């Protein structure tokens, strides 16, 4: 066996890690293929001639441009204000407490109050996930994009299924677009003219908006378009960088208010008889909302509640029948009455199609909104021969439009069920068919006959129309509810295969951990040593089991940071007990418990970003705010303390270079890190206005210094790789491993700290202190110092790394990503570069540094005279154990999403957690494999185990 070990060299230690990576990749690919399937996108499109197959009335031949419904408007102006919260538009009187960002878009309130019959504000409810790509896809298709579309948020593929923009294009309507370039990615060949601008530089608040303004107002005077789309991004970017309660956000809203005033003025001036905008509808809307911290992507009320303002320049109906009016009215700050209705974003595509008279998108499951549809009724030429009020005539047209709407949805459901192997269940289809049959039967045998008889008066017709509309509402609501709960198809065989391979990988990892003990005859004969190992292993399994099983609950997923911190503190209490019994390392035990308490504090602060109702913020935000406002020292301390901590870290590294084992190239790597720390301090000073003077030009401090730091980091990694390949090391095994580990951590740390912002030095300091305590506490047991497995300390290391993820303000949701970090040092967007920087910011302290720092746990107990073979055996076991802990947690996450795949929170909570955990698993595996190449020396020079020459 030893002969085989000598022949295999380094590969003999690391091959289980690479095999584990392959097994995990295969398992996750198979499971993801089965779990994140989108609904079947049918290759069918609606056509004008399709209506002949419906039981509904076609539009009269003399309606120019008519197709499925009677056209209500000729032109449509859509202004999208990205991340438009509902309380940006609604008057502050609609809320319990007035906030600084409210009442800034007062032009919309003024129009709603002064022209209630022709202007209306809607609370629009979006379906999560609330990323811009998915919302634009949902708005234009009238369907429910599934979670997998989030993966395309940084590179949107063209929409292939039928949609509102495609129907405009196919029916000869000319569309002009300006603003967010996501539109041209989704619809690459559908615009008469387009003026796209890059949308992912969140630090840029003005470029996209200024481009919109440059093209919007000239276009309003041109007659070469039927639909105009302007997508502004300033509010979204201001939220991501500064938050909702910030001066840049308020300035953006005030700027938008001025622009909207001008737009309304231009449209109104040309809305007279024969004017360019005589029959134009203006729609100002958001694609989604945002949290107070400026994030979006999830399903919280702040994220899904946005606004739609619609205004007609014709004089529409005096009122909508109260049966179909969902408005809530209240006076604004000026004492004027403002009414706000509500609608689903799902209804946008079909309502706009009905207003323009074009076919509805084939896959739309939305409902024509009555209040929005009524805004276009003023353009209809009512038949004077009919002795019916305008409202009743409108109701006839609306009932027929709903008839078409219902027939189209039923047609889609039938085609979807025939094309999809899973789709809706038999019971669901039976329920849908039953509700539709009732509505159609009422239409054919009652309503349609009454509509054909022109002599019926309102007393006879209106009650039947209301019953018919209610029947259509019931059908469309039923379909939407079932689609929301059961839209995604799951390939259970593929998912089961993925889970099976994951379980096999866990068994393989466990075998890889136990194999060296039997192969190399490691001495475990000491009864006290055996007892210690068994007790440690049992408690490790206990901690891992609690963490894993907690992931099966949605409540514990939301509170995972607190759960992990509780388990970390529990392990600290156990270590403290051992310290008291052994009467040693008491300071380290108390320090570790104190650090876990501080982590709990930091995690609670991080959770406050997710919800303003966080317990910590609710109880303590007031006195913190008072201290900050009364004492300017807190403001300066927040700027100065991170720099002082960074100087302390640089000093520690400088002291380390005085040690003899840091020779070339590692010494130069550490000196490069010290230089990077100083550059980061200069970057922070130039990027802050709190010091009164800038040391360098602003552009140099903000852009070029971070680039220099990145370049130094790449150079350091190259030097370490070069030294690994070509430099012969004559240090003993233990010293060599310490030098390698220190150099690698120092090479990564500047980039991680820079991307983490000014919290970075404190988290780095905490990680050093925590790691030191774990290493020291691992030495409490004196017996059998070179035992191959120390699972308890590895479990602590893993728990502490997870705590650092939450301490740094992250959480397992897409709105927990700090997109601004991806643009530190860069103004322009590049997908690969920004993705790498975002990944380093998100997982730098929780995965990258812990994985490369893990060898410190080995060297604390290793004796130099035992040779390299035992050292590498222990290191291999330690990395495999660490990977096993991560894999077990990820496996339980996979089981969780499998169990809860039909849960209402699957896309808002379980699927994001799944994506984060499997990404962490693969990243951990990759880094373990890279670390194995770096830390395990090439060659088989362990023939003499007592040799100190490595």
pLDDT digits (tens, 9 = 90+) for 451-460: 877 666 666 7
pLDDT digits (tens, 9 = 90+) for 602-630: 887 766 555 433 333 334 333 344 444 45
Provide the edge-to-edge strand list for the sheet that holds 227-232: 193-197, 175-180, 227-232, 75-81, 280-285, 305-312, 119-125, 337-344, 328-331
pLDDT digits (tens, 9 = 90+) for 94-151: 998 899 999 999 999 999 998 888 899 999 999 877 878 888 888 999 988 665 544 3
Q: How many CA atoms lie within 13 A of 428 on its CB side?
A: 19
Q: Rounded mean pLDDT of 922-949?
A: 70
The top-scoring range by mean pLDDT among 66-75, 467-476, 535-544, 722-731 is 467-476
Q: Are 809 and 763 in contact (CB under 8 A)?
A: no
Q: Are 791 and 536 in contact (CB under 8 A)?
A: yes
Given a cut of 90, whether residue 64 has pLDDT beyond it is no
Q: Rounded mean pLDDT of 890-915?
A: 80
Q: Are 353 and 360 in contact (CB under 8 A)?
A: yes
Give the DSSP H/E element, type plus range, for residue 331: strand 328-331
Among candidates 77, 884, 887, which has minimal Cα distance to 511? 884
The pLDDT of residue 943: 40
pLDDT digits (tens, 9 = 90+) for 215-242: 999 999 999 999 999 999 999 989 888 8
Predicted confidence band at 17 (pLDDT cuts at 50, 70, 90)? Answer: very high
CA 641 to chain centre: 31
The top-scoring range by mean pLDDT among 525-539, 547-561, 599-613, 624-638 is 547-561
The pLDDT of residue 205: 87
Q: Rounded mean pLDDT of 761-766?
A: 92
Q: Which residue has the higher pLDDT, 723 or 190?
A: 190
Predicted confidence band at 584 (pLDDT cuts at 50, 70, 90)? Answer: confident
Among candidates 720, 715, 681, 719, which has minimal Cα distance to 701? 681
Q: Are 894 and 497 in contact (CB under 8 A)?
A: no
SS3 (DSSP) at 121? strand
Among the ranges given (422-431, 632-641, 870-879), the one the predictor scored with the smallest mean pLDDT: 632-641
Q: Which residue has the higher pLDDT, 917 or 147?
A: 917
Between the alpha carbon of residue 858 and those of residues 100, 247, 281, 702, 876, the distances in Å are: 55, 51, 70, 40, 10
Q: Which residue has the higher pLDDT, 783 or 118?
A: 118
Q: Are 135 and 126 in contact (CB under 8 A)?
A: yes
The pLDDT of residue 687: 74
203: left (phi over 0), alpha (psi -120 to 50) or beta: alpha
Report the first-to-last Cα separation within the chain, whole angstroms: 22
Between the alpha carbon of residue 291 and those of residues 236, 303, 380, 698, 739, the distances in Å are: 11, 6, 42, 30, 45
Given a cut of 60, whether residue 326 has pLDDT beyond it is yes
Q: Rounded mean pLDDT of 306-316?
A: 88
Count other Cβ atoms within 10 Å, centred on residue 14: 23
For residue 455, give every residue at least 6 positions away whose Cβ sits within 8 Å of its Cβ, in sequence order, or none.
none
Give the start-to-end residue ranges of the domains of the chain.
15-37+493-520+544-611+619-935, 76-375, 387-489
CA distance 726 to 131: 48
Task: Give φ, ψ of 131 to 5 degrees.
Answer: -95, 155
Among candidates 638, 920, 578, which has minimal Cα distance to 762? 638
pLDDT digits (tens, 9 = 90+) for 335-353: 888 889 999 999 999 999 9
For residue 657, give every residue at least 6 positions away whose Cβ sits within 8 Å of its Cβ, in sequence order, or none.
667, 670, 671
65: left (phi over 0), alpha (psi -120 to 50) or beta: left
Question: If you count DSSP H runs as helices and E runs as strands, how many of each does the chain have, helices first?
Answer: 35, 9
Among candidates 321, 367, 326, which has minimal Cα distance to 463? 321
The pLDDT of residue 575: 87
The pLDDT of residue 716: 92
Task: Give φ, ψ of 457 to 5 degrees.
Answer: -100, 180
Among candidates 763, 755, 926, which has minimal Cα distance to 837? 755
The pLDDT of residue 871: 80
Among candidates 82, 35, 138, which has minimal Cα distance to 484? 138
The pLDDT of residue 890: 94
Given a cut of 80, whether residue 728 has pLDDT beyond it is no
Please state which CATH number belongs to domain 76-375: 3.40.720.10
CA distance 72 to 374: 9
Q: What percent of the chain has pLDDT over 70?
A: 81
CA distance 307 to 286: 6
The top-scoring range by mean pLDDT among 402-406, 549-553, 632-636 is 402-406
CA dihedral sign of residues 717, 721, 722, 728? positive
CA 429 to chain centre: 33
Q: Which residue has the higher pLDDT, 782 or 743?
A: 743
For residue 123, what are the β-bridge partners? 307, 342
Mean pLDDT, the chain, rounded, equals 82
Q: Are 162 and 329 in contact (CB under 8 A)?
A: no
The pLDDT of residue 622: 38
Give Dmax (Cα) for the chain: 110
Q: Rounded mean pLDDT of 702-718?
A: 91
Among the ranges given (140-154, 282-296, 352-366, 840-854), the one the predictor scored with the smallest mean pLDDT: 140-154
**DSSP per-residue letters across 337-377:** EEEEEEEEGGGHHHHHHHHHTPPPPTT------HHHHHTTG
Q: Which residue has the higher pLDDT, 722 or 946?
A: 722
């Amino acid at each position: 066996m030893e002969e085989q070990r000598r022949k295999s060299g380094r590969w003999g230690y690391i091959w289980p890690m690479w095999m584990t990576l392959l097994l995990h990749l295969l398992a996750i690919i198979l499971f993801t293929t089965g779990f994140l399937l989108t609904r079947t996108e049918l290759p069918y499109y609606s056509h004008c001639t399709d209506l002949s197959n419906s039981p509904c009335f076609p539009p009269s031949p003399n309606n120019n441009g008519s197709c499925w419904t009677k056209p209500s408007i000729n032109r449509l102006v859509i202004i999208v204000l990205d991340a438009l919260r509902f309380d940006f538009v609604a008057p502050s009187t609609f809320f319990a407490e007035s906030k600084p960002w409210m009442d800034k878009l007062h032009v919309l309130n003024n129009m709603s109050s002064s022209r209630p019959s022709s202007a209306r504000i809607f609370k629009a409810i979006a379906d999560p996930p609330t990323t811009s790509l998915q919302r634009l896809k949902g708005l234009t298709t009238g369907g429910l994009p599934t979670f997998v579309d989030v993966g395309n948020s940084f590179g949107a593929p063209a929409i292939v299924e039928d949609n509102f923009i495609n129907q405009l294009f196919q029916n000869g309507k000319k569309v002009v677009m300006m603003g967010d370039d996501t539109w041209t990615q989704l619809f690459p060949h559908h615009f008469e003219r387009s003026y796209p601008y890059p949308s992912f530089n969140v630090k840029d608040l003005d470029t996209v908006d200024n481009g919109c303004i440059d093209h919007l107002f000239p276009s309003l005077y041109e007659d070469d378009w039927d639909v105009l789309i302007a997508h502004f991004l300033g509010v979204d970017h201001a939220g991501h960088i500064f938050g909702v309660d910030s001066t840049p956000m308020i300035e953006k809203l005030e700027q938008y208010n001025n622009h909207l005033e001008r737009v309304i003025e231009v449209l109104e001036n040309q809305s007279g008889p024969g004017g360019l905008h005589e029959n134009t509808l203006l729609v100002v809307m958001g694609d989604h909302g945002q949290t107070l911290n400026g994030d979006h992507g999830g399903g919280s009320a702040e994220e899904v509640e946005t606004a739609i303002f619609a205004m007609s320049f014709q004089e529409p109906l005096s009122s909508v029948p109260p049966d179909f009016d969902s408005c809530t009215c209240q006076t604004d700050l000026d004492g004027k009455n403002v009414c706000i209705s509500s609608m689903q974003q799902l209804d946008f595509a079909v309502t706009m199609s009905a207003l323009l008279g074009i076919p509805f998108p084939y896959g739309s499951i939305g409902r024509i909104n009555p209040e929005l549809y009524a805004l276009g009724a003023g353009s209809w030429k009512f038949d004077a021969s009919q002795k019916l009020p305008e409202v009743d005539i409108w109701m006839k047209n609306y009932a027929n439009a709903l008839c078409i709407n219902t027939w189209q949805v039923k047609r889609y459901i039938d085609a979807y069920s025939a094309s999809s192997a899973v789709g809706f269940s038999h019971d669901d289809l039976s329920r849908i068919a039953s509700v539709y049959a009732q509505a159609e039967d009422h239409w054919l045998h009652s309503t349609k006959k009454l509509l054909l008889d022109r002599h019926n008066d309102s007393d006879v017709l209106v009650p039947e129309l209301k019953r018919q509309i209610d029947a259509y509402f019931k059908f469309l609501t039923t379909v939407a509810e079932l689609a929301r709960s059961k839209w995604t198809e799951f390939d259970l065989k593929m998912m089961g295969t993925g889970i099976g391979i994951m379980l096999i990988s866990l068994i393989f990892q466990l075998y890889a951990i136990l194999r060296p003990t039997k192969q190399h005859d490691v001495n475990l004969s000491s009864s006290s040593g055996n007892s210690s190992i068994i007790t440690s292993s049992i408690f490790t399994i206990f901690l891992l089991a609690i963490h894993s099983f907690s992931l099966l609950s949605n409540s514990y997923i939301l509170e995972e940071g607190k759960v992990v911190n509780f388990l970390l503190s529990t392990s600290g209490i156990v270590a403290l007990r051992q310290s008291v019994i052994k009467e040693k390392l008491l300071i380290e035990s108390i320090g570790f418990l104190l650090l876990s308490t501080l982590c709990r504090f930091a995690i609670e602060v991080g959770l406050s970003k997710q919800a303003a109702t966080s317990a910590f913020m609710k109880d303590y935000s007031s006195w913190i705010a008072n201290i900050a406002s009364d004492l300017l020292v807190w403001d300066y301390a927040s700027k100065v303390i991170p720099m002082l901590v960074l100087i302390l870290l640089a000093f520690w590294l400088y002291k380390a270079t005085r040690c003899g084992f840091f020779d070339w190239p590692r010494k130069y790597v550490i000196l490069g890190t010290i230089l990077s720390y100083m550059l980061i301090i200069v970057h922070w000073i130039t990027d802050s206005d709190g010091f009164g003077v800038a040391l360098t030009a602003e552009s140099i401090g903000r852009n070029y210094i971070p680039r220099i730091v990145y370049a130094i980091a790449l150079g350091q990694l190259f030097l370490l790789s070069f030294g690994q390949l070509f430099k012969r090391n004559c240090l003993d095994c233990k010293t060599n491993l310490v030098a390698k580990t220190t150099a690698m951590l120092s090479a990564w740390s500047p980039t991680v700290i820079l991307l983490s912002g000014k919290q970075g030095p404190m988290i780095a300091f905490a990680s050093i202190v925590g790691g030191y305590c774990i290493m020291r506490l691992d030495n409490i047991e004196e017996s059998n110092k070179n035992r191959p497995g120390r699972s308890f300390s590895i479990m602590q290391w893993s728990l502490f790394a997870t705590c650092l993820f939450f301490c740094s303000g992250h959480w397992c949701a897409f709105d927990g990503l700090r997109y601004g970090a991806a643009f530190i040092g860069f103004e322009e967007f590049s997908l690969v570069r920004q993705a790498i920087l975002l990944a380093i910011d998100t997982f730098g302290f929780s995965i990258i540094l812990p994985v490369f720092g893990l060898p410190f746990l080995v060297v604390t107990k290793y004796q130099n005279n035992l040779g390299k073979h035992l050292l590498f055996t222990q290191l291999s076991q330690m990395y495999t154990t660490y990977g096993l802990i991560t894999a077990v947690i990820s496996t339980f996450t996979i089981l969780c999403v499998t169990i809860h795949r039909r849960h209402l929170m699957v896309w808002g909570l379980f699927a994001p957690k799944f994506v984060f955990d499997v990404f962490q698993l693969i990243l951990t595996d990759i880094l373990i494999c890279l670390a194995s190449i770096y830390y395990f020396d090439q060659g088989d020079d362990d023939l003499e185990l007592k040799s100190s020459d490595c």
